[in-house]
Amino acid sequence: MKITNIRLYKVPPRWLFLKIETDEGLAGWGEPVVEGRADTVRMAVEECREQLIGANPMCIEDIWQTLYRGGFYRGGPVMMSAIAGIDQALWDIKGKYYGAPVYELLGGACRKKMRVYQWVGGDRPRNLAEAAQEAYRKGFTAIKVLACEELNYVDSYQKITEVLERIASVRDALGYKMEIAIDFHGRVHKSMAKILAKELEQFHPMFIEEPVLAQQNEALRDIAMHSNIPIATGERMFSRWDFKKILQEGYVDIIQPDPSHAGGISECRRLAAMAEAYDVSVAFHSPLGPAALAACLQLDFAAPNALIQEQSLGMHYNKENDLLDYLADKSDFVCEGGCMEPLKKPGLGVEIDEALLAQRSQVPHDWKANIWRLPDGAIAEW
């Protein structure tokens, strides 16, 4: 079997889909994208065309190593996202060739269902109690919320109080029937992260996510010493070499690699095994579309230390199109009682609606991250 062509579709809300075609009629899908840099990643995938056309798609590891080691400069969000989408599509082809879901090719399922959480509250968190109650009515037992808006290096205690009041409103509404994961989103600098983590202990969150940016991971030690809340991070880390140090240092409880950013299914499978060796769990990052979520679920059912799965249905970024819109069969994902079942179809387990992709790719869009500023006009972390 040989790869004969690659096709890319940039579509709303902020996604990029890749289709790899073969001379035997099998095709695979992936999502190689950096949110807000879709065109850049698209070009990176196109630059891999020469290595892909004519290659045997079954030789996933050889292709991965060729793409990674075939350049003098390695790693980073753009190249690793390009490799990630290619890798997802190759696993999709391989699963279809053998007539099995990818998790079967990774050793088989180690669980019967995978817990997922619902995003609530939006980019600037509001009305968390109402949103949490709605998620609970839908059967979810866990939510994730953004902790705060922009914060200065050292900011007022009023902003800390506002965060505490929002989380308290969820606890008042639902008690401990709903677990709460709190995302700092890298918006919080070390000095305030220590305070916020300590003050949030009273609400017993499931975890705090990205309390500081990945470039500031040395601060995780101080934050861990100020709070007993489990720490999660890793959505802005892109390979086993990026994760090696934080696993060795031991201050992280949950790693969150993204199979659309961190080298795909192949690399994220290795990362889950690395984390297990350090008694650390994994919660794969997935705020993207159906192929990305399907890749996560294939890993979840093969990784014994997978904790919980993010999914983007109804997420505040998903304007114009949502998670299920690009599926030919909307029933591919089954979510009941806050859990998803193993995907039944071979490969990634989802059937992408290519006709709709082609149509929607004609709609101009250029999603960009927010630019936030502090009251004095200085740029703030978003």
pLDDT of residue 114: 98
Token pair listed for 334: 């089954």
Residues 128, 167 contacting (CB under 8 angstroms): yes
Which ranges of the chain have pLDDT less than 70?
none
Paired strand residues for 3: 22
Which residues fall within 8 angstroms of residue 46, CB to CB, at 6 or more apart? 6, 8
pLDDT of residue 382: 86
Parallel/antiparallel/unpaired status of strands 207-209 and 179-183: parallel
CA–CA distance, 179 with 199 (Å, rounded to integer): 17
- Peptide bond preceding 13: is omega within 30 degrees of 0, i.e. cis? yes
Residue type, 272: A
pLDDT of residue 277: 98
**Catalytic-labelled residue, pool 189, 204, 226, 285:** 285
Token pair listed for 102: 């990818």
Is 316 one of the annotated active-site residues of the chain? Answer: no
Which of 266, 225, 235, 320 is CA-nearest to residue 60? 266
Is 285 one of the annotated active-site residues of the chain? Answer: yes
Residue 9: CA count within 13 A, CB half-sphere:
24
For 49-82, b/e burial (b = at least 16 CB within 10 A) is eeebeebebeebeebbebbbeeeeeebebbbbbb
pLDDT of residue 187: 93
pLDDT of residue 194: 95
Where do we find the tokens 């904790």? 307
Q: What is the pTM of this model?
A: 0.96
Q: Which long-range contacts (CB under 8 A, 24 or more apart) does 135-138 make?
A: 135/178, 136/174, 136/177, 136/178
Which residues fall within 8 angstroms of residue 277, CB to CB, at 6 or more apart? 247
**Strand ranges in the chain using DSSP code E only, listed in sequence order:** 3-11, 15-22, 27-30, 114-115, 118-119, 142-146, 179-183, 207-209, 231-233, 254-255, 281-282, 335-336, 339-340, 372-373, 379-380
pLDDT of residue 181: 97
Token pair listed for 176: 């401990």
CA–CA distance, 91 with 264 (Å, rounded to integer): 9
Which residues fall within 8 angstroms of residue 271, CB to CB, at 6 or more apart? 240, 243, 255, 257, 262, 282
**Catalytic-labelled residue, pool 185, 226, 261, 316:** 185
